Structures are given as structure tokens and as C-alpha cells.
């Protein structure tokens, strides 16, 4: 897939240099090349560059009349068309081998082995960043004075399983941190008290309620009924389909029914579910859409985004309405019937430019102030032994089509953490994000976990680590800086008149922080364990093409665990400016308490030593002495060795 941007002034989707010289010839790629969505800017140039497929359909630059005219006027040769068609047909041919029927219905994988694998992946991805005074793991029973735990934060009862936009997938189920922790404590021999507080708001819009509403089987979810005609239709509305959904953020671009005219995306959907409040209070209801929508609570209209609509920019690539809100006073524990009546994009009263059915988002949240929620959380924190603060980002904060304006967690989350730590020092912060966030409170909390967006089993995986049923072994895949200004791209980020300068060059991530000696908050490759390891006995051999390494290590702690060994290479006295060291390989080894073992690596010398020579347009490996640095993070090197290359040479390809 080609990117949207230009490289050296030319769009990638029409660059012969990128698509032919590099992708086809150097990389030997023999598959289909397609554009990113709406990432084509020409007919002739993109065809001749070998962009085989324009996405999405219907095409904008390759309509029959355009291509036929280009061929008949000798602007584009038939051979160019044939070559592009061959790659598309090749894709079709390979896809047919999957033997997926045309009318297949998407279905979930309910094999228990799938859930087990997701939980294992979640466990292994979690990174333990701080564990002062052994505050972790927590106990499932009332020991060490731990009798009750408060779980506080906007991500406690929300399953932040993934980023937004194209990072999202439909899931069969999601386990929230609250559910995972509840289930874990039930495994204990006696009961540890568990309390909850929201603490802070996260998103600027109301949160997804797919995990909050109950469907008609009293299970988590929303019932969606698709009709051909609107609710006020005098006759039969013609029910087309009934679906159970796990989200209240719905896009309908690919919905189809044999009861609909394929050229007319006009239809109606009623979304229903039962809402049972956690506390007696006034609650906000809200929706934004491309189409029209109204929200009813026990058949009373609460939100009207139908008769009067205002443009917004929160969703739908800036084409939808602003979030319209209304409120209702609800009592704790009482079930309320929520119904959202939605009409698709043709009912929209504003300009959208969409040719499909559009979509809507709707949510529910207690009506309160940040100060009031922090106050409730602080009151609870005073009354418990341990506090787990589950915070971070969400699909709204990390999605496609925009960049985060800063590294801060939105809203009053940092204030919440600061105030809770003042009244209870036994705090574990769990951060969920796909990228670094500012942590001005990091030194004040004894326990800190980076949990990322953990997929369907995120709640269970997190509970496994918090309570010690899994010993964390994850490592940071990126550097966490102390502040936004420390980032390598800080001075270059963004475009000026459509031009972006990648001024950081090869000094990205840890390479930059080490070169300019800026101390990060947490270094690349960093991650703690509930046990300890000792590395020793580095052995290096060089056969001319590769270096072979063998490292011995011992689990010097009291429990089973795993360590990730990282191999960095550093050239001594380089003839050009180079990073202080570069990661070239890594591997994981698991050991019982007291057990010793070894791990081996074989690393290509040309790949380990080479850099791009822009003058020769080739990779270059310089003769000389190279250090092998073995560590458990980029700033924690345990062992060192050397190898020598006898000659300088150039190469191309992969």
C-alpha cells in the first residue's frame, strides 16, 4: 500500500523510483501494489509508476472514460494497462485459494484456545516500569494488612482494547480491568474488599457504551434492528436484520441487504439496550452522526440530533455533527431502556460529501465536574489499603487522521493521581496508551505499569500481572521522554507549505537520546520483572558472514521468569557520524528460580555494520573494529565483546 505523502517532491503513489526501482527491483516484491484510501492524485503517472489498484471504489482517477481516453490518445500504452491488470488478477487468483464464499457472514472465533492465546499475548506485552518496596504483586487474600483495594480511573470499566480508526477491530468480547480484577479476587481464599471510583473524565465526547449497556439476553451489548422505513412509517417498516453489537460507535459504509436498492443507502436503525446506573445522579446522553439521530430513555426524548444539526469535527473525518447532549436523572440499580433512532446519511441535513450510509456514535456518562470526581476518588483512597489507578488514552485520543497535540493525558488525570498519592502512598498506576505520555507524577508512585491497548483479554492479562499469576517480562518498544520538547522530531514536526523536513535523520528514538545525552523518563528496551537475572559468559565467533553469540544467564530470584536479551552493535572510530549503538537482535529466555541457561544469536555482519551511502546509492560496511553490547535495555549494558571486519564493501537489495 502506498502512503499519502510525497518523497522528494513526488507522491509515492506515482513514483517510479519507489515503486519500480526500490520495491520491485531491489526488494523483489512481486505482489499487488494498491493505494491508501483516496491516496491517488493522477491517472497517467500512477499507472505508469505501477500502482496497480486505486482504493477505495468507486475509482476517481481510473474511471473507464478516463483510461480509455488516455490509451486512445497515446498518453498511456496498452502494455502499461496490461501490466497493472496482471497484478490485480494475480491478487484475485491468490485470494480465491482461500475459498471464502461470496455470501459468507462474518463470524467470531469462539475457540477457547483463541482466548488463551490473546491472554498470553496480553501478559507478555505488559511492561513493569516501577516496583518500589515490592508493592507488586498484590495478594488475592487479606495478608500484609491488605484488606481492601480501590480501583480508580476512567479506564477501569472501559475496555481500551485498541486504538481508534483503522486500528480497531470488531471483537467477540472484551474484558475490562474491573472485570479482570473482580474475577482474580474471587480466586482468593478470603474476600478482599474492592471499591471503584471514576476519578476523572478522559474523552471530550461521551464514552462508548458497548460494554455498559445490556442486550435482551442481559449480556453486555447493544441490539441493532435495521429497517427499510423510518419509525413514523404508517405501514410495515420491513425489518431487514437484527444484530448484536459490542460498540456504540457504528460506521455503516459496508452494510448491505437484499431488501435495499444498492444505489440508495437510505435506511433506518434502532439501537436499544438497558442501562443500570452505578449511582443515583444526573447522566449525560449524547450522539454525533452522519445522518440523523435521537436518543430516548424509557421512551422520553433526551437528545435530538435530527431536527436541528450543527457541524462538528470529532468523527467521520470531520464530516459529522457535533455531539448533541441531553441529560436525565437516574437512580442507582434501576434498569432504564435506552433507544437510539438513526436515519442513514441521506437524511443528513448538512453537507457530508459521503456516498455511503454514514454512521453514528452515542454515549452515556454521569453528569459531574472534574473537581467533584477527584474529590470522590480521594475520599475513597483514604479508606483503603491499596489503590490501583487505571488511566491513559483511548480510541478518541489515539486514532488516524490527526496527531496528538501533546504528550499529556487529556483532562484532569494527572491532577487525580497527584491528589490520590497525597492521601495514600500505596498507589499502582496502570497506563494504557499506544505511545508515550507525560508522567509528571512518576517519581511519586511506587508502582507503575505500561499496559498498552491489550485486546479482548486486557482485563484478565492486567489482573494476571497485578496479582502475580504472570511475572511480567515485557520491554518498552520505544523511548518514553520526560517531556514533549525532548523528542527528536520536536523542531521538525509538522509541515510548512506542505513540506516536512526529517531533520532527525537516523537519530530516532534511543539513538537520539544517547547522542545528545538527554536522559529519558524510561529508556528503550526497559522493563522490570518480579525476579532478577544475572548475565555472564559472553562468547563471540566470526565466520566472515555472521557473528555468532552465546550468552549465559541465571535466574537469581525466587520465582520463574523471563528476560529479554538485547544485542547492540557499535563501530569504534567511524568515518562518518553514527549513533552510539544500534539494536541488531533480541531474544527471550525463560528460567525457573535458581536455574541457569544460555541464549544464542547469529547476526549478519553486513546488516549489523552497514549504513546507507547516499553518494553511491548503496549500503556500505566499513572495515574496522565493532563492539558487541549485550544488555537488558538500551541503557543497561551488562556484557561487552568485539569483532573485526577486514574490508569495506557496498551492497544493494535486502
Cβ contact 252:202 at 8 Å: no
pLDDT at position 144 is: 64
**78 with 119, same domain?**
no
Q: Is 272 within a domain?
A: yes
CB 361 within 8 A of CB 289: yes
299-336 tens-digit pLDDT: 999 999 999 999 987 566 678 899 999 999 999 999 99
Of 66, 96, 126, the position where a domain reaches its end is: 96
Residue 230, domain member (yes or no): yes
Same domain for 147 and 279?
Answer: yes
Whether residue 300 sits in one domain with residue 195: yes
**pLDDT category, 57, cuts 50, 70, 90?**
confident
Look at residue 520 and tell me if it is in a domain. no
Q: How far does Cα 59 stand from its chain's mean position?
A: 30
pLDDT of residue 30: 96
| Continuous H helices in 558-631 | 605-609
Per-residue model confidence as pLDDT tens digits over 604-633: 999 999 999 999 999 999 999 999 999 999
Residues ≥6 apart with Cβ < 8 Å to 129: 448, 449, 450, 522, 526, 527, 528
Strand partners, 596: 554
191 within a domain of the structure (yes/no): yes
- Domain residues for the domain of 76 are 6-96
Does a structural domain hold residue 101?
no
58 & 182 share domain: no
By residue count, the chain amounts to 654
What pTM value is reported for the model?
0.91
Contact 449, 409 (CB under 8 A): no
Sort 110 into a burial class: Cβ within 10 Å, 0-12 / 13-18 / 19+. Answer: exposed
Q: Which residues contact 587 (CB under 8 A, 6 or more apart)?
A: 564, 565, 599, 601
Instruction: Answer yes or no: is 490 within a domain.
Output: no
State the cell numbers at 559.
520465582
Residue 34 falls inside a structural domain:
yes
In the chain, count H helices and then E strands: 11, 28
In a 3-state reduction of DSSP, which class is residue 365?
A: strand
| Cross-strand pairs, 223 | 244, 272
pLDDT of residue 171: 84
The position carrying cell 513514483 is 15
Same domain flag for 89 and 205: no
Cell of 487: 523528542
pLDDT (tens digit per residue) in 362-380: 999 999 999 999 999 999 9
Kindly report the CATH number assigned to the domain that includes residue 625.
Answer: 2.60.40.10
Q: Is 449 helix (H, G, I), strand (E, B) or coil?
A: strand
Tell me the pLDDT band of 122, cut-offs 50, 70 and 90. very high
Do 226 and 362 belong together in one domain? yes
Say if residue 215 is in the same domain as residue 77: no
The residues that are catalytic are: 36
The DSSP bridge partners found for residue 341 are: 270, 294
Q: Is residue 419 in some structural domain?
A: no
The residue out of 322, 353, 370 marking a domain boundary is: 370
Enter the DSSP assignment of 2: B
Name the 3-class secondary structure at 353. coil
pLDDT band for 101, please (50, 70, 90 cuts).
confident
345 and 206 in a common domain: yes
- Does the bond joining 253 to the residue before it have cis omega, within 30 degrees of 0? no
The least confident of 134-143, 483-492, 594-603 is 134-143
Residue 128 sits in the same domain as residue 260: yes
The reported pLDDT for the residue numbered 246 is 87
The domain total for the chain is 3
pLDDT above 90 for 565 = yes
Nearest 5 degrees, angle CA 288-CA 219-CA 190? Answer: 120
Whether 219 and 340 map to the same domain: the answer is yes
- Report pLDDT for 522: 98
Q: Contact, 533 vs 563, CB < 8 A?
A: yes
Which DSSP string do the residues of 9-42 spell out, in sequence order? TEEGGG-HIIIIIIIIIIS---S--BBPTT----
The cell numbers describing 312, all together, are 462538528
pLDDT 10s digits, 265-282: 999 999 999 999 999 999
**Residue at which a domain ends, from 64, 96, 128:** 96
Same domain, 189 and 286: yes
The mean pLDDT of 217-227, rounded to a whole number, is 95
CA gyration radius, the chain? 28
Query: SS3 for 329?
Result: strand
Query: Hey, which of 144-153, 165-174, 397-406, 554-563 has the most confident mean pLDDT?
Result: 554-563
Q: Grade residue 384 by pLDDT with cuts at 50, 70 and 90.
A: very high
Contact call for residues 295 and 303 (beta carbons, < 8 A):
yes
Distance between CA atoms of residues 294 and 113, nearest Å: 41
Give the list of residues 6+ apart from residue 54 with CB closer than 8 angstroms, or none. Answer: 34, 35, 40, 46, 60, 61, 62
Question: How far, in Å, CA of 436 to CA of 450, rounded?
Answer: 10
For residue 243, count CB atoms less than 10 angstroms from its CB and return exposed for 0-12, middle for 13-18, buried for 19 or more.
middle
On average, the pLDDT of the chain sits at 94
Both 118 and 77 in a single domain? Answer: no
State the pLDDT at residue 319.
81
Amino acid at each position: 500500500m502506498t502512503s499519502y505523502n510525497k518523497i522528494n517532491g513526488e507522491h509515492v503513489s506515482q513514483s517510479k523510483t519507489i515503486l519500480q526501482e526500490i520495491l520491485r527491483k531491489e526488494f523483489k516484491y512481486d505482489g499487488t501494489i494498491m493505494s491508501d484510501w483516496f491516496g491517488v492524485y493522477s491517472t497517467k503517472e500512477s499507472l505508469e509508476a505501477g500502482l496497480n489498484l486505486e482504493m477505495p471504489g468507486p475509482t476517481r482517477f481510473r474511471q473507464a472514460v478516463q483510461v480509455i481516453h488516455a490509451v486512445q490518445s497515446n498518453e498511456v500504452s496498452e502494455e502499461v494497462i496490461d501490466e497493472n491488470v496482471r497484478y490485480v488478477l494475480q491478487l484475485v487468483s491468490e485470494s480465491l485459494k482461500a475459498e471464502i464464499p461470496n455470501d459468507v457472514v462474518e463470524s467470531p472465533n469462539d475457540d477457547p484456545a483463541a482466548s488463551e492465546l490473546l491472554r498470553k499475548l496480553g501478559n507478555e506485552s505488559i511492561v513493569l516500569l516501577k516496583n518500589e518496596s515490592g508493592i507488586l504483586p498484590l495478594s488475592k487474600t487479606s495478608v500484609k494488612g491488605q484488606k481492601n483495594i480501590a480501583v480508580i480511573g476512567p479506564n477501569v470499566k472501559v475496555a481500551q482494547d485498541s486504538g481508534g480508526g483503522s486500528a480497531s477491530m470488531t471483537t467477540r468480547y472484551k474484558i475490562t480491568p474491573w472485570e479482570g480484577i473482580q474475577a482474580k479476587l474471587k480466586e482468593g481464599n478470603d474476600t478482599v474488599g474492592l471499591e471503584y471510583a471514576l476519578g476523572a473524565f478522559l474523552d471530550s465526547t461521551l464514552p462508548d457504551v458497548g460494554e455498559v449497556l445490556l442486550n435482551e439476553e442481559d449480556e453486555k451489548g447493544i441490539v441493532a434492528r435495521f429497517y427499510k422505513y423510518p419509525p413514523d412509517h404508517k405501514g410495515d417498516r420491513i425489518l431487514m436484520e437484527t444484530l448484536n453489537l459490542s460498540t456504540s460507535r457504528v460506521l455503516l459504509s459496508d452494510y448491505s441487504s437484499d431488501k435495499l436498492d444498492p444505489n440508495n443507502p437510505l435506511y433506518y436503525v434502532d439501537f436499544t439496550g438497558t442501562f443500570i446506573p452505578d449511582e443515583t445522579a444526573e447522566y449525560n446522553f449524547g450522539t454525533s452522526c452522519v445522518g440523523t439521530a435521537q436518543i430516548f430513555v424509557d421512551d422520553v426524548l433526551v437528545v435530538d440530533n435530527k431536527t436541528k444539526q450543527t457541524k462538528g469535527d470529532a468523527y467521520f473525518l470531520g464530516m459529522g455533527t457535533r455531539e448533541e447532549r441531553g441529560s436525565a436523572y437516574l437512580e442507582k440499580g434501576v434498569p432504564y431502556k435506552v433507544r437510539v433512532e438513526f436515519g442513514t446519511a441521506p437524511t443528513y441535513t448538512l453537507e457530508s460529501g459521503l456516498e455511503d450510509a454514514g454512521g453514528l456514535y452515542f454515549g452515556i456518562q454521569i453528569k459531574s465536574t472534574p473537581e467533584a470526581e477527584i474529590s470522590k476518588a480521594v475520599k475513597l483512597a483514604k479508606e483503603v489499603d491499596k489503590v490501583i489507578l487505571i488511566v491513559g488514552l483511548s480510541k478518541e485520543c489515539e486514532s488516524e487522521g490527526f496527531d496528538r497535540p501533546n504528550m499529556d493525558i487529556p483532562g484532569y488525570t494527572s491532577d487525580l493521581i497527584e491528589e490520590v498519592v497525597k492521601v495514600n502512598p500505596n498507589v499502582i498506576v496502570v497506563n494504557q496508551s499506544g505511545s508515550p505520555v507525560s508522567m509528571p507524577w512518576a517519581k511519586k508512585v511506587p508502582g507503575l505499569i505500561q499496559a498498552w491497548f491489550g485486546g479482548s483479554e486486557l482485563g484478565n492479562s492486567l489482573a494476571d500481572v497485578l496479582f502475580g499469576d504472570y511475572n511480567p517480562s515485557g520491554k518498552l518498544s520505544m523511548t518514553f521522554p520526560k517531556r514533549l520538547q525532548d523528542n527528536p522530531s520536536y523542531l521538525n514536526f509538522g509541515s510548512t507549505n506542505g513540506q516536512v523536513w526529517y531533520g532527525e535523520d537516523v537519530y530516532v528514538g534511543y539513538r537520539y537520546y544517547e547522542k545528545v545525552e538527554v536522559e529519558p523518563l524510561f529508556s528503550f528496551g526497559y522493563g522490570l520483572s518480579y525476579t532478577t537475572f544475572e548475565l555472564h559468559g559472553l562468547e563471540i565467533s566470526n565466520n566472515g558472514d555472521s557473528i555468532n553469540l552465546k550468552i549465559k544467564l541465571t535466574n537469581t530470584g525466587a520465582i520463574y521468569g523471563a528476560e529479554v536479551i538485547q544485542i547492540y552493535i557499535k563501530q569504534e572510530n567511524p568515518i562518518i557520524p553514527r549513533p552510539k549503538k544500534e539494536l541488531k537482535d533480541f531474544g527471550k529466555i525463560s528460567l525457573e528460580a535458581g536455574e541457569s541457561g544460555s541464549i544464542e544469536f547469529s547476526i549478519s555482519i553486513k546488516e549489523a555494520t552497514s549504513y546507507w551511502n547516499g553518494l553511491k546509492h548503496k549500503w556500505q560496511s566499513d572495515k574496522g573494529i565493532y563492539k558487541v553490547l549485550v544488555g537488558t535495555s538500551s541503557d543497561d549494558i551488562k556484557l561487552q565483546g568485539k569483532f573485526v571486519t577486514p574490508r569495506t564493501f557496498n551492497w544493494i537489495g535486502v
